[in-house]
Amino acid sequence: MSALPAEAQNTYRLIHVGGPFPYDKDGSVFGNRERLLPVKARGYYREYTVKTPRARNRGARRLVCGGKPPTTPDVCYYTDDHYASFKRVAE
């Protein structure tokens, strides 16, 4: 976790307290269409925006977390290239 940008660490904290999140799409189901994450049932993964300094939109950085309830995820992955690659997040 400490290797992630400060904005990702903040998003991770927001996930654990249930928000509030800055973007409407935060917390929406992530479909894993790229099949880069372990295959799970639809609805397992949820995506959250990691703010990008000076970006005028949501940017490319995300945390994708899996598990239920969403506030206590089993696992989280970080991407800084809009789902082209992922790194597993360890607490």
**Within-domain flag for 73:** yes
pTM > 0.85: yes
Supply the residues annotated as catalytic. 47, 82
Return the SS3 of 14. Answer: helix
Could you give the percent of the chain with pLDDT greater than 70? 99
Number of domains in the chain: 1
SS3 content of the chain, % helix, strand, coil (to 5): 15, 20, 65
- List C-alpha distances in Å: 18 to 37, 72, 91: 23, 9, 18
**Within-domain flag for 1:** no
CATH number of the domain within which 71 lies = 3.10.450.30
The Cα 71–Cα 56 span in angstroms is 28
pLDDT band at 90 (very low <50, low <70, confident <90, very high): confident
Q: Is the pLDDT of residue 34 over 80?
A: yes
pLDDT at 2: 82
**Within-domain flag for 59:** yes
77 is in which domain, residue-wise? Answer: 6-89
